[in-house]
Structure 1
Amino acid sequence: MKDQAQMLRDMAKSIRPFDFQVISITSGKGGVGKTSFTVNLAYHLQKLGKTVLILDADLALANVDIILGERPKYNLLHLLSGEKNINEIIWESKYGIKFIPASSGFEELANLSKEKQIQILNALQEIYYSFDIMLIDTSAGISENVINFCLASDKTLVITTPDPTALADSYAISRIILTNKPEHLEAGLIVNFVNDEQEAEKIHRGMNNILREFTGKTMKYYGSLRKDKKLSDSVKDRYILSAKYPKSPYSLDVEHIARYIVEGKVLKKKENFWNRFLRNLKNLKVE
């Protein structure tokens, strides 16, 4: 795996300009909101003036098109078969977000050979100069395809939730990434479906304590995504939450992460009076 990942990293490094960023978004298990986050992040990055391309690398269970409410004519299967070139399979959504669709239900896409992975990278040489950022929405789990995408990226963001099984699986993939981490890679953690920032920060500290013990390395904290009923509605009804409800808790949280990626600094989330009062009520101890 190391030799193959190094080959992919060297190739990616040689084909992209200095200011072109590749960000992989991954998770140890499914159902943690990875694709919803990817699509909403793309929307906010565009709002911040960046040209963004999403590569749907959940190759055999594609769902970026579903979240965006689109039905692309072509996908990666057409590229790999030689029927279409990379420009012909890029699809632009009604939000202006461009993405490279994968395909659902095709076993040959689930575990791509080294040659097929390199074929995709070679194709990306033709279009990288048209974008500032490429977001790679990987499949869940620790397959070789997933790890190779993560290690070749400039940044890899692991999405988890407070659920014990999600935490265990996110630890597993984080440990693999950090064990094989190349010097250029920044690895970060995002905690989804939390009540508040304090819950997410506690999870991040706990995860890092274990990772530091076994790898000597840690994950950077990229932020939290609060529980938001509108998110499940947006998935069900196929629209981008951040576009329809830009002031919803989830939208504001994704915007903070997008600004961190673009501006390189964490913006402290604002608490209103009620948030502060309830937090103090929970934590304050008067003797």
Structure 2
Amino acid sequence: MKDQAFDLRKLIKEENNDFQVLTITSGKGGVGKTSFTVNLAYCLQTLGKRVLILDADLALANIDILLDEKPPYNLGHLLTGEKSINEIIYTSRYGIKFIPATSGVEELANLTKEQQLFLINSLKDIYYDFDFMLIDTSAGVDEIVINFCLAADKTAVITTPDPTAIADAYAVSRIISKHKPESLELGLIVNMVSSAEEGEKIYKGMNSILKRFTGKEIEFYGYLRNDEKLTKSIRDRNILFKEDKNSKYSKDIHNFANFLISGKKKSPETNFWKRVFNSWIKIKEG
């Protein structure tokens, strides 16, 4: 532990103050996390921002599938030392840059601490080239998922009105809240709602329970309305925001993108790599 902590401290350098990290996570799979990530990335691009997606669902990659791409290299090639971080960044036909994960590789589902450290260190080679990094995690509460959530400037927990999805979103929010540093803003996005009122009602209910049992609250990051056009775009492997900016889903994505761009700036004392270090130690010692 001491040697690992020492090595990670050496990685903490001066930060690109324009660089922001948003982690997108969920307690349950199938809530629309990856669709949200891809549409948000494209929307931010149209607003003039340089965006990188990290597919952090390390053993069950989805970003490449949704974008209908077949990158030649992925995180497996990085972790084995075959390729550098710049060599595995792939640019889709939409201009979206992403770091691909792999599918069906058990070793990537359980990275060692040394591998986690190597991955984080590799990201330092490229972050000056981007304004936003969107980290699309796997669902659940694996250690690396929580570490990415705790290290972000903002973490968005996505749920749907489904009771099991809400229960799992509460569970992951409770764990993040227990360990979260002051610098992290934790928010809830309610997907697949019929109206704004439904989204707000679900948020208020979950926030009330979280506050009651942890003494902490979660921000309301908004809602994403049910949109049949999204279902079709996923089947066709298109990005809805590109195909129809006036769809209900696209308008909700645009609202969140504007929120991100106009959101509060972080303190230079709490850069991404410092938060990775602090959160990792807390998880292991807690």
Q: Give the number of equivalent residue pairs.
A: 264
- 2:135 is paired with a residue whose SS is strand
CA gap 1:140/1:166 in 2 versus in 1, 3 angstroms: same
What are the within-5 Å matches in structure 2 for residues 89-108 of structure 1? 89-108=88-107
AA matched with 1:101: P
Match for residue 65 of structure 1? 64
CA gap 1:129/1:199 in 2 versus in 1, 3 angstroms: same
CA gap 1:7/1:206 in 2 versus in 1, 3 angstroms: farther
| Distance in 1 between residues matched to 2:236 and 2:221, nearest whole Å | 28
| Distance in 2 between residues matched to 1:83 and 1:190, nearest whole Å | 38
AA matched with 2:58: L
What are the within-5 Å matches in structure 2 for residues 215-226 of structure 1? 215-226=214-225
Contact residue 16 and residue 125 of structure 1 kept, 8 A:
no
AA matched with 1:105: G
CA gap 1:218/1:14 in 2 versus in 1, 3 angstroms: farther
| Distance in 1 between residues matched to 2:44 and 2:32, nearest whole Å | 18
**Contiguous gaps of at least 5 residues in structure 2:** 265-286
What are the within-5 Å matches in structure 2 for residues 1-287 of structure 1? 14=13, 16-264=15-263
AA matched with 1:171: Y
CA gap 1:8/1:207 in 2 versus in 1, 3 angstroms: farther
| Distance in 1 between residues matched to 2:41 and 2:185, nearest whole Å | 19
Larger Rg over CA atoms: 1
CA gap 1:216/1:170 in 2 versus in 1, 3 angstroms: same
Say what the alpha-carbon RMSD is for the aligned residues: 2.1
- 1:217 is paired with a residue whose SS is coil
AA matched with 2:153: D
Q: CA deviation at 1:148?
A: 0.6
Q: CA deviation at 1:16?
A: 3.1
Match for residue 284 of structure 1? none
Identity value in percent: 63
CA gap 1:20/1:27 in 2 versus in 1, 3 angstroms: same
- 1:137 is paired with a residue whose SS is strand
| Distance in 1 between residues matched to 2:57 and 2:96, nearest whole Å | 18
CA gap 1:13/1:202 in 2 versus in 1, 3 angstroms: farther
Contact residue 29 and residue 141 of structure 1 kept, 8 A:
yes
AA matched with 1:209: S
Contact residue 8 and residue 148 of structure 1 kept, 8 A:
no
- 1:14 is paired with a residue whose SS is coil
| Distance in 2 between residues matched to 1:13 and 1:29, nearest whole Å | 33
AA matched with 2:65: I
- 2:13 is paired with a residue whose SS is helix
Q: Deviations over 1:211-248 (max 9, x none)?
A: 10111111111110000111111111111110011111
Instruction: Using structure 2 for the length normalisation, give the TM-score.
Output: 0.88
Instruction: Using structure 1 for the length normalisation, give the TM-score.
Output: 0.88
Q: CA deviation at 1:183?
A: 1.1
Contact residue 15 and residue 125 of structure 1 kept, 8 A:
no
